[in-house]
Amino acid sequence: MTRISKPTPCPCGGNHYAQCCGRFIDQGDIPQTAEQLMRSRYTAYTLHNEDYVKSTWHASTRPAEAVAQDEDTKWLGLEVRKHVPAGDAATVEFVARYKIGGRAHRLHETSRFVREEGRWYYVDGSFFTTK
């Protein structure tokens, strides 16, 4: 896991890591929207912060194996396309770009989130195979 201490752009595209996803990942603030949670989870992936990725994953779908530890995956950027809140559920459509061994890939997903006792959790996602 990588630590960021200096003021620095947020991997999710925000201006300042500490005021963007760092609030949630390092300072324990609770994301108020599914989009904030989704962005902070993307950033946690870029930092290989397995604990954060797992703790924000709903217990019903949380995988047992490590998911954010792959140092070969270089995350390049995030674009949130759509955020559809509906009470204690929400969907977020996004495109994340990454490289593995010099090859560029795109992950285009609509993620589902639920809110329980004031906290948002990632449930699962539908993938697009479009280029």
Q: Does 92 bind Zn ion (CB under 5 A)?
A: no
Q: State the minimum distance, in angstroms, from the CB of residue 42 to Zn ion.
A: 8
Measure the CA–CA gap between 16 and 94, rounded to whole angstroms.
20
Among 1, 7, 18, 20, binds Zn ion (CB under 5 A): 20
Strand 89-100 relative to strand 103-116, pairing: antiparallel
Nearest partner of 92 among 52, 35, 36, 39, judged by Cα = 35
Contact region with Zn ion (CB under 5 A), list: 17-25, 59-67, 89-97, 117-125: 17-25
Closer to Zn ion by Cβ: residue 12 or 47: 12
Angle at 79 between CA 83 and CA 54, to 5 degrees: 75
Closer to Zn ion by Cβ: residue 27 or 129: 27
Q: State the minimum distance, in angstroms, from the CB of residue 62 to Zn ion.
A: 22
Q: Does 37 bind Zn ion (CB under 5 A)?
A: no
> Which residues contact residue 66 at a Cβ distance below 8 angstroms, ignoring those fewer than 6 apart?
50
Q: How many helices (H) and strands (E) does the chain have?
A: 3, 4
Amino acid identity at 104: A
Contact region with Zn ion (CB under 5 A), list: 37-45, 51-59, 79-87, 99-107: 37-45
Among 4, 21, 25, 78, binds Zn ion (CB under 5 A): 21
Size of the site for Zn ion (CB under 5 A): 6
Measure the CA–CA gap between 101 and 45, rounded to whole angstroms.
17
Q: Which residues bind Zn ion (CB under 5 A)?
A: 10, 12, 14, 20-21, 39
